[in-house]
Structure 1
Amino acid sequence: MDMALPTTRLTGLADSYPVVAAVSAAISVAIVYFIVLLPLYNILLHPLRKYPGPKLWAASQIPWLRSYTGGLYHVKLRDMHEKYGPVIRVGPNELSFTSPEAWQAIMGHRKSGEVENGKAPFYAVPPLITGLNRTDHSRVRRLMSHGFSSAALRDQEPMIRGYIDLLIQRLHENSQQGRKAVDICAWFNYTTFDIIGDLTFGEPFGCLQQSAMHPWVELVFANVKTSAMRSALARFPVANHLLPFFVTPQLVRKAAEHKELTREKVSKRLTLTDARPDLVHGMTVGKGGLTVSREELNENSEGLIIAGSETTATALSGAIYMLTTHPAILKTLAEEIRSAFTSESEMNSINTAHLPYLQAVLEETLRFFPPAPNALPRITPPEGNLVLGKRVPGNTVLSVPHWAMYHSSSNFSRPDEFIPNRWLDDPQFASDRKECMNVFSFGPRNCIGKNLAYVEMRMFLARVIWNFDIELAAESMDWLQKGRSFSVWAKHPLMVHLTPRPVAV
């Protein structure tokens, strides 16, 4: 009998033992480091150790990750600010601010030679405008601004009105005289995507025409939570190795199709020879010697589609929910709109801007239900920066969260109540710090589409309320409570009954 085989096996095991021992030791050291030593350092020795906040959140990024990916981070963050104050530590390397002064301190304009707090790399990357450096951002923004000017908005208004006309027609067709509930959230999304598609690519997505979401647009919604997870994991040093496990082959394929369709639509738009009053025209004519690359054009066209549609539709959906759950406010708004005009055809971007209660309702909606509820984080330069009189170390993440700031009792009286009168100089709310409201962000990187968004919101809401008496369906009574926040809201259908009212044309 050959006895060499067991001996050989034993010898092999003996030879491999040092390797196994070394790996085990390395794992043990890593466990001790990440579970014991690093958290202790973050709590006791880290440069941010003196800032208030829960110690568990200071010790590790994991509490933040769990809260954010659960979709209720906005509420948790508000509660922590209420307990610890306007400046708190919400991660080993992150500070959150809810005082109005934080906007200028973190995101405001800088004098020549002053270093800005750039966009955090896990949030935005070039060539998308949100991730460009200071010089390139200024170049691309100047070219994009032509499509968002007052003159451009006047030229774009007939097209916008045409899509709102079709929206009203579709709502009449689908509401069955108020007997059938319709998902008003979906219809707002159909319309805003068609408008921004036409403004960007020279043609709509056909959502209103087909009464359905275009596959290109569906991917945006299907990917909300996945994108949030990827963005959250990108804050971790080893995240790039983990990201593939959170992305299915189907999502990879759809994302590739998404980008390919963007390239095709941009190419088709560039073949148009007429000078359309759209958002791409300014980026392609190269005024003042400035130009954009084709890659920048593709990426920013895609960004315009998302930023210029989803946020507006979210605000409008929030307005409808808040109005239908506050009947007295809805009645007051309906009376203002219906008494201001003799026919629907009179409504335009100019005269709807002179309806004070409509504007107050929109402002209160944006405060109560901001379309981008969480912060768009910045990061201090490597040498650090001065923030609200204190030197903050380099590479510190700085957050100014919308929902938490707008629901802070330090900034607003009765912050969790929907009260449009606070925007109409009601003396009860004289102490409200309205300057903290910057839904469209702040400084040189604020939202370039703010004026377009207000035009759309005023005209949409005025036209819908002019045409219909609105009642919330029973299945959507808890619509707001079911919503989850990421970079945008993950929303459920908002079912309402729309009863047409006899009106003059």
Structure 2
Amino acid sequence: MLYRSYYNRQYYKRIEQMHEKYGPVIRTSPNEIHLMDPENYDRIYSSPSRYEKPAAVYDSYLSPAAAFATPSNEVHRVRRAALNPMFSRRMVLGLEDVVQSKAWKIIELTTQALQENRPMDFYHAFRSLSTDIISDFAFDKSFNLLDSPDLGAAYLALIRQLNVGPWVLQQLPFLIPLVTRVPPWLAPLLSKSLGSVYEIKQQCADQIEDVRARLTTQKGVHDRPTIFSQLIDPPNTTGDRVCSTDDELRDEALSVLAAASDTTGNAMTVAAYHVIGNRQIYDKLTAELKRAFPDAEAKLDFLKLEKLPYLTGVVKESLRLFLVQSTSIQ
């Protein structure tokens, strides 16, 4: 870990140099290897895999009860199974109206910026778009960051701080038990990153309580199932709940929100950058969209969008570039 920290954000270049010298598989620490060839990657990360997550790494995120941070494959499989149905194709299609309404806000904000001859803040807009959608899907109550004057910049700054602490705690894992015992009022005085963790966790706890209160009032009936309405009151389930404690629900909420705002927002940023920056791609993509949707005001139906070959290619290539970028930064 100290060796990696020494190279900071240039570590990926050092990794490339080591691969050139030692081959496709290199040992970067006593209990860590780095792979360059797809064959060995698939052997490690195929499903099911007997390799477990490194506990020291995932403990540093201070959300031990979330499925994301569960080192054990067996426990992770059970926790993940409870979430999988919520991200099925059927559920995603049921969320289309929410996605459409949030996407139109981006269009309206961009149009207004053009009319006023001022720049459009896509960095925060894309991340707020993703957060507004996932918060609606998670809690049936959108955060509506796109409606805020700063496009959610203050909230997203808190989320970004969540990624700072793990780097320190991975170097000094003996601090983790101490950090988890810090009173919430003291956390921001000790560390901005730690204060952000406690603030977001409290927000998540409040959201969970709000969902639980609405479920009680409505006697468990929701017009549209959400992630946490299903985790709190799972339908047709016998035995113990997967998330049976407030801590588990809170950590799962933190994991869902952090993943949505950063990863999806980054992927959309990469896509927009390359499409707008390459005239050939831009012209070909817009031509395909105009043929499919001659009316510029028409709803861009998902079932129709997914059948457009060039758009599908742009989405997949954008995801590939985003993953390459993320891996390089890490």
Using the alignment, how far apart are the partners of 1:152 and 1:78 within structure 2? Answer: 41
Using the alignment, how far apart are the partners of 2:29 and 2:67 within structure 1? Answer: 27
- Residue 293 (structure 1) aligns with: 244
Q: 1:335 aligns with which of 278, 287, 290?
A: 287
The answer to whether the 8 A contact 2:200-2:254 is kept is no
1:283 maps onto 2:223 in alignment: no
**Would the alpha carbon gap of residues 214 and 373 (structure 1) be closer, same or farther in structure 2, given more than 3 Å must change?**
closer
Aligned partner of 1:361: which letter? V
- Residue 66 (structure 1) aligns with: 6
- Residue 358 (structure 1) aligns with: 311
1:100 maps onto 2:48 in alignment: no
Using the alignment, how far apart are the partners of 1:90 and 1:370 within structure 2? Answer: 21
Aligned partner of 2:146: which letter? L
Aligned partner of 2:190: which letter? P
Q: 2:190 aligns with which of 228, 249, 258?
A: 249
1:221 maps onto 2:155 in alignment: no
Aligned-residue offset at 1:264: 0.6
Aligned to 1:198, what secondary structure does the other structure show? Answer: helix
1:308 maps onto 2:308 in alignment: no
Aligned to 1:95, what secondary structure does the other structure show? Answer: strand
The answer to whether the 8 A contact 1:74-1:373 is kept is no
1:164 maps onto 2:103 in alignment: yes
Aligned partner of 2:302: which letter? S
**Would the alpha carbon gap of residues 98 and 88 (structure 1) be closer, same or farther in structure 2, given more than 3 Å must change?**
same
Aligned partner of 2:4: which letter? W
Q: 1:323 aligns with which of 233, 254, 275?
A: 275
Using the alignment, how far apart are the partners of 1:355 and 1:193 within structure 2? Answer: 26
Aligned-residue offset at 1:281: 2.8
Using the alignment, how far apart are the partners of 2:101 and 2:312 within structure 1? Answer: 23
How many residues align? The count is: 306
* CA offset digits 1:190-221 (Å, max 9, x no partner): 11111111111221222111132164432112
- Residue 210 (structure 2) aligns with: 268
- Residue 81 (structure 2) aligns with: 142
- TM, length-normalised to structure 1: 0.55
The answer to whether the 8 A contact 2:66-2:252 is kept is yes
Mapping of 1:17-56 within 5 angstroms? none
**Would the alpha carbon gap of residues 298 and 223 (structure 1) be closer, same or farther in structure 2, given more than 3 Å must change?**
closer
Aligned-residue offset at 1:371: 7.5
Which consecutive unaligned segments of at least 5 residues does structure 1 have?
A: 1-60, 375-402, 404-484, 487-505
**Would the alpha carbon gap of residues 305 and 240 (structure 1) be closer, same or farther in structure 2, given more than 3 Å must change?**
closer
Using the alignment, how far apart are the partners of 1:371 and 1:204 within structure 2? Answer: 31
Q: Which has the higher helix share?
A: 2
The answer to whether the 8 A contact 1:147-1:281 is kept is no
**Would the alpha carbon gap of residues 189 and 135 (structure 1) be closer, same or farther in structure 2, given more than 3 Å must change?**
same
Q: Which has the higher strand share?
A: 1
Aligned to 2:26, what secondary structure does the other structure show? Answer: strand
**Would the alpha carbon gap of residues 327 and 80 (structure 1) be closer, same or farther in structure 2, given more than 3 Å must change?**
farther
Using the alignment, how far apart are the partners of 1:102 and 1:347 within structure 2? Answer: 40
Using the alignment, how far apart are the partners of 1:79 and 1:323 within structure 2? Answer: 31
Aligned-residue offset at 1:230: 2.1
The answer to whether the 8 A contact 1:174-1:180 is kept is yes
Mapping of 1:7-18 within 5 angstroms? none
* CA offset digits 1:425-450 (Å, max 9, x no partner): xxxxxxxxxxxxxxxxxxxxxxxxxx
**Would the alpha carbon gap of residues 123 and 360 (structure 1) be closer, same or farther in structure 2, given more than 3 Å must change?**
same
- Residue 55 (structure 2) aligns with: 121
Aligned-residue offset at 1:136: 2.6
Using the alignment, how far apart are the partners of 2:289 and 2:226 within structure 1? Answer: 29
- Residue 187 (structure 1) aligns with: 125
Aligned partner of 1:336: which letter? E
Using the alignment, how far apart are the partners of 2:166 and 2:274 within structure 1? Answer: 26
Using the alignment, how far apart are the partners of 2:5 and 2:100 within structure 1? Answer: 43
Aligned-residue offset at 1:118: 1.0
* CA offset digits 1:116-148 (Å, max 9, x no partner): 211111222431102322333222222212211
Using the alignment, how far apart are the partners of 1:303 and 1:166 within structure 2? Answer: 25
The answer to whether the 8 A contact 2:267-2:322 is kept is yes
- Residue 210 (structure 1) aligns with: 148
* CA offset digits 1:267-289 (Å, max 9, x no partner): 10122234223222332233432
- Residue 81 (structure 1) aligns with: 19
1:259 maps onto 2:201 in alignment: yes
Using the alignment, how far apart are the partners of 1:298 and 1:355 within structure 2? Answer: 39
Aligned-residue offset at 1:109: 2.5
**Would the alpha carbon gap of residues 364 and 296 (structure 1) be closer, same or farther in structure 2, given more than 3 Å must change?**
same
Aligned partner of 1:161: which letter? Q
* CA offset digits 1:466-492 (Å, max 9, x no partner): xxxxxxxxxxxxxxxxxxx24xxxxxx
Using the alignment, how far apart are the partners of 2:9 and 2:87 within structure 1? Answer: 32
- Residue 367 (structure 1) aligns with: 320
Mapping of 1:430-469 within 5 angstroms? none
The answer to whether the 8 A contact 1:128-1:296 is kept is yes
The answer to whether the 8 A contact 2:124-2:156 is kept is no
- TM, length-normalised to structure 2: 0.82
RMSD: 2.7
The answer to whether the 8 A contact 2:2-2:171 is kept is no
The answer to whether the 8 A contact 2:161-2:196 is kept is no
**Would the alpha carbon gap of residues 372 and 131 (structure 1) be closer, same or farther in structure 2, given more than 3 Å must change?**
farther
**Would the alpha carbon gap of residues 239 and 368 (structure 1) be closer, same or farther in structure 2, given more than 3 Å must change?**
same
| Worse-superposed segment, 203-212 or 298-307 | 203-212
Aligned to 2:27, what secondary structure does the other structure show? Answer: strand
Give the 4+ runs in structure 1 shifted more than 4 A: 238-244
Using the alignment, how far apart are the partners of 1:228 and 1:248 within structure 2? Answer: 18
Q: Which has the higher contact order (CA 8 A, sep 6+)?
A: 1
Aligned-residue offset at 1:339: 2.0
Using the alignment, how far apart are the partners of 1:93 and 1:346 within structure 2? Answer: 51
Using the alignment, how far apart are the partners of 2:226 and 2:40 within structure 1? Answer: 34
